[in-house]
Amino acid sequence: MDDGDLMAEIDTHTQNLAARRPLSPHLLIYRPMLTMTMSIVHRITGVALYAGTLLLAWYLIALASGRAQFEVASAVFGSVPGLIVLFGFTWALFHHLLGGLRHLIWDQGYGLDHPGREFLAKATLTGGIALTVLVWLVAFLAG
C-alpha cells in the first residue's frame, strides 16, 4: 500500500463519517413554539427600548432647551407617525417588563412545565397588549 492509497482511504472514511453525523439544529429544523417566539420578541423589544430611550432623551433635552425646541419635539411626537412610534415604545416597554418577570418566575423554579411555560408566554403577550391599551386609554381620557 503506498501513500496515495492511504490518503484515499482516509478521505472516504471522513466522507462516510460526515454523512452519518447529525445536522446541527437551526431555525429551519425546530418547529416554532410560542415560548421560542416570545424569547425572540423579548430580544427585539430590548433593542427597541434602546431606540426609544434615545427619543425620550431627545424629548427631555428639548424640554430643557427652550420653548422652540420643545415645540418641535412635541410636534414630532404629536404627529400620527410619532404617536405610532410612542404606542410601539409603550408596548415594547410593557412586553419586555413582563418577559423579565416571566424569566424571574422561571429563575425561582416555577412555571417550567409545559402548561406553565405556555401560560406565562400567553400572559406576557396578552398582558403587554392590555397594559399598553390601558395606559393609552387613560392618557386619552385624561388628555
Q: Which domain holds residue 114?
A: 34-142
CA separation for the pair 127, 91 (Å, rounded): 10
Residue 26 lies in a domain: no
The structural domain count of the chain equals 1
Q: Where do we find the cell 415645540? A: 71
Predicted confidence (pLDDT) per residue in 103-124, tens digit = 999 999 999 999 999 999 999 9
Query: How large is the average pLDDT for residues 13-27?
Result: 61
Torsion from C-alpha of 52, 39, 102, 140, nearest 10 degrees:
40
Residue 7 lies in a domain: no
Residue 79 lies in a domain: yes
Residue 13 lies in a domain: no
Residue 17 lies in a domain: no
Residue 123's CATH number: 1.20.1300.10
pTM over 0.85: no
pLDDT tops 90 at residue 75: yes
Residue 45 lies in a domain: yes
Q: What is the reported pLDDT for 111?
A: 94
CA separation for the pair 129, 95 (Å, rounded): 8
Q: Which of 48, 32, 134, 44 is nearest to 89 (CA)?
A: 48
Q: Where do we find the cell 424569566? A: 103
Residue 3 lies in a domain: no
Residue 84 lies in a domain: yes
